[in-house]
Structure formats: C-alpha cells, structure tokens
Structure 1
Amino acid sequence: MSGKIRFAPSPTGYLHEGHLLSALYVWAAAKKWNLKIHLRIEDHDQSRARPAYIAGIREDLAWLGFKYDSESIQSARGQVYEAALQKLKEKSLVYPCYCSRKQLLAENPQSETGEIVYQGKCFKEVGSRKPEVGSIDTAPHNLRFIVPNKFIDWHDLRLGDFHENPKLQCGDFPILDRDNQWTYQFAVCVDDIDEQITHIVRGEDIRNSTARQIALMEALGRTERPVYLHHPLIVDANNKKLSKRELAHSLRQDKEAGITPEMLFGRVCYKAHLTGNDTPIALVDAISIIMETL
C-alpha cells in the first residue's frame, strides 16, 4: 500500500496530549502502510489562529522527533478554495443563508449529539431562485452546501461500517461563514482532494463529519474515497476530550518543566490504554505499539 496521510493541527493554541496521541497514530499508520506524511496547518479560523501557535506546531514536532515529507497552510490556499467554490456554484449546489444563531437554534431540530439539523429555510426562500453564477448578495450571510438526501455507506478500519445520511445529521452546512472565512468542513475536503490525501487518521470526535465530507468531496469530483480510521481520545478528569478552548495543558509547558519526549510518549500511551504503565518509551517504540493495533 502507498499514498499520503496528513497531520492537521489548528494553530488556535499550543499542542497538547490529544495532538500527540493523534500524531502517534498518523506516524504509525504511515509506517505500517508506507505513506508519505503531510503536515497541514489548518488556520482557516483567522479569528483564533496566531503566528506564535503556527511556529509552536513546527517547533514542538521537531522537539518530539516527528519528521514529515511536505507542508501546507490553509491561509495561503485562497485561490484553491475559490476554484472549488466556483465548481459548486456552477452545479447550483450552494446558496446564501441569512439565519442568525438565534434563529438557527429556535427554528431547527437538534441531533442526538446536540448539533443543529438545518431545515433549509433560506434555500426555500432564496436559494431556489438560483442566482447567476458568481453573484453574491452583499448582506451578511454564509454560504451553505446543498447536501444530497441519501444514505452514504462508508467503512472505518477501527470502528467498522456506517450507514449515514448527512441530510438528517446536519442538513445543508456552511462552507463560507458570515465573516467570509472558509469553514472547517469545506477547507479540509478541498485540501484532501487537492493534496491527494489517500488515508485519513484522526480522533473519533470527528467521525460524525465523515459522511458529509464524503458527500462534499463527491460533489467536487472526487471518485475514490480516502481510507478512514478514527482513533480513541484522551479525556480529562470530567471525561471530556482535551481542548485548547478549555486551556488544556500544553506540551511546551511540559518541556519547560523538564519533561522529556520519552516521558510524554509513555504518559500518552498509558492514558490511551495502550500500555499498562507510564514508563518513558522512545518514539519508535510508541509507534510500534500503535502499529500493532491498526
């Protein structure tokens, strides 16, 4: 097997143990399946991304010993996203949405996970008029992708088979927000196509995004799906995943406290229930442990 896999952190904070576990899974998959490794810095959220965090990602990966084959940063890829958006416009697969957050909460049901399932109000009122290709109303709005109303069957190497309809999971979802920023769902799909990513290994908290991303990638012309594997997460004392928004303890704080990479690898593998104790281990050994689970 050969191809390309990506490690894609967002520079909205410094890397923490959750990122380290994800990196270990990505590098283990790359070694097992003979894949090139691509570092993608996902700074699509310009309101939260910071240059210091971008530099921190590169510095932390170098300190930990993770080497990769190529790199990209989303803020430099505007023309690629514009071209992809034009493809969707030419197929009449996008429309402007003027709903406020308050309206979205009040007028749409929520899924079992608490996600808003958009019912297409603005498509019915505005989108069905099919404005000319390239035209954008100047009033504040986001652009939504018209999700096909069908079930999508896909397979996860760890979790098994799924049969999901993203129209029922989330409805038509935004690809460009009210601040004229590309959304996560849109940017990663365009990147995975353009950067020829064949394998996607990421945390299981993103699993629910898979069917909608498959639908979007197919709308953009991708015919061969990536191989998917969603790995388990490290959680905090309240059984919540580690989050930069919640100020999760960063790896560089550990570094400044004298913690070695080997100590971090041992600790993370133990917290992820991959080993029976938190004895320090080398990067190559941590990768080997995870390879055995793939």
Structure 2
Amino acid sequence: MKATRSFEAEGPKLYICSTPIGNLDDVTPRLIEILRTVDVVAAEDTRQTRKLLTRYDIHVPELVSYHEHNAVYRRDWLQTLWKLGKRVALVSDAGTPIVSDPGDDAVQLAIEAGVPVVPIPGPSAVLAALVSSGLPAIPFTFVGFLPRGAKESREALDRFGKLSWTFIFYEAPHRLQKTLSQLATLWPERQITLAKELTKRHETLVYGTAVEVHDFIAKESPRGEYVVVVGPASETEKCVDLATCRADDGDALSLQEAVQMVRRLMGQGVSHKEAVKKVAEENGLRRKDLYDSTL
C-alpha cells in the first residue's frame, strides 16, 4: 500500500494535465499556473503543445516528447527527474491524458516510486459528449476506440450494446460510416448521439436512432473527430453487466487466458503496454486489471 499527499510538500510530482480539446480558451487558471511553474512538460506531440504554450505566453524550461512509442525508453529519464526533485507535467494532444491517450505507464511508474500523482482536471471529449447527448448519464461505460478489424469491431458493439446503460466510444472519420452501418444493423431503433469537433468552429451534434444517424452521415463527407454515444439496451436486448455479456460469448477470454496472450505478444517483440492495450480492447477486459496481472 502507498499513500501520497498532493499539497503537503515540495519535491517531485507528476501532474496529469487536461488541455483543450479544440478551443484554446478552454483552460483553467490552475492549468496555466502549473505549466508555468513545472520543470518539465512531457507532451504527446510537442508541436501541438507548443501552440497552447505560445497562446498563453508560457515558457517552460524543458519540453519533451512522451508518447506510446517512447514511453518505455522514457522510464529511466522520468525516474532520474524525480530523484532530482523535479516536477513533471504530462499533457496529451487534447483532453485528458490516459483516456485513450498515452500516460498510464508514467502514472504506474510514479506510484511505484512514491511520487505524488496530481490530477489537473479540465476538458474531456467523453464528458462533453455525454452531457450533451440527452441520454442517461449514470452509469456509463467508456470504450475508447473500437478494435480495428470489422469482425472484432462488430463483436465489441454487440457486447457493449447489450448493456442496460449508455456506452461511449471514439471513432475516426474514415471508419465512421462503416461503424454506424454496423450499429444500424445491430440496433436500428437504438437512440444514439454523434458529436463532431467538440468545442471547435464546426461543432455538430446529431440525435436520432442508429438508422437515422447512419443515413444522415451517409450524405456527408466525415471529417474531424467524432464521439459516439449509444443509449441503453431495451428490456429484450440487455444483459445485467459486462461479465454476463462476456459469459454469453463462447470466444471470450478469461483473465488467465488474456495474460497468456499478452505474454505471447511480448515474446514476439510487442511492448508490454501495447500488448495489454491490444488484448484488453479486443476482449472487453479492463486494461488496468490486465496490466497489473502481467507486470
């Protein structure tokens, strides 16, 4: 067991900083203060972060890239910084780090080292889409991005679509029409909300059944970033919870089987983080559970 106190002492810290998801005015005074006073900003893309820093005339001592491809390489670097008492701000391109963005490896490393992990709340595309969707907000399940394969994507939608509460996922523009087609086939009358370019100039929200939203997008040329909010299953469609949904799936993996799959992928040269992410997303498992079980 470990316990840290965010405000009690000086010394090393890891700040998880939520940044604007499009509109650069969506910052908090606390975020600006943290970015102005930390020793290092670790950014998913330094070019994107530099736009924010320039907008608010923030000059950081060190701006360094930190993303899924160099997270393992950065471990020793982070540990050295913390040993020197440095404060590190972690930012993604937009929104809250770790929510379908890099950062979970840094958080785990900080916890293991006893370094306080301090959240700096702010914009989140998930919550922005949820509260404007008109669909039941509590409880809800956030899926992240669906698996890339058509079969795997359909299976994931089928599984999450049996939940008795709202679920949310991100989708890329080049895959949007195909995904909406799958939703319209599986649950034609299900209420969904499609959020496009949240907080930006072309922000658009589309409300309707899965078929109606699919037909609307079929006439468009999808561009930008999308969040799809899917309403709860009807009485005849739903199951009690994710465990029950997975139990009905003869191909569902147990945690032990998933651990073995992660190890096989790692044996093929895939990083620990990427292997966990792939297996968890494709099989509806909690990433943290699988991560902890494979450390």
Bin the TM-score by the shorter chain.
under 0.3
Specify which structure has the bigger relative contact order, considering alpha-carbon pairs within 8 angstroms and separated by 6 or more residues. 1
* TM-score (normalizing by structure 2): 0.24
Length-normalised TM-score, structure 1 = 0.24
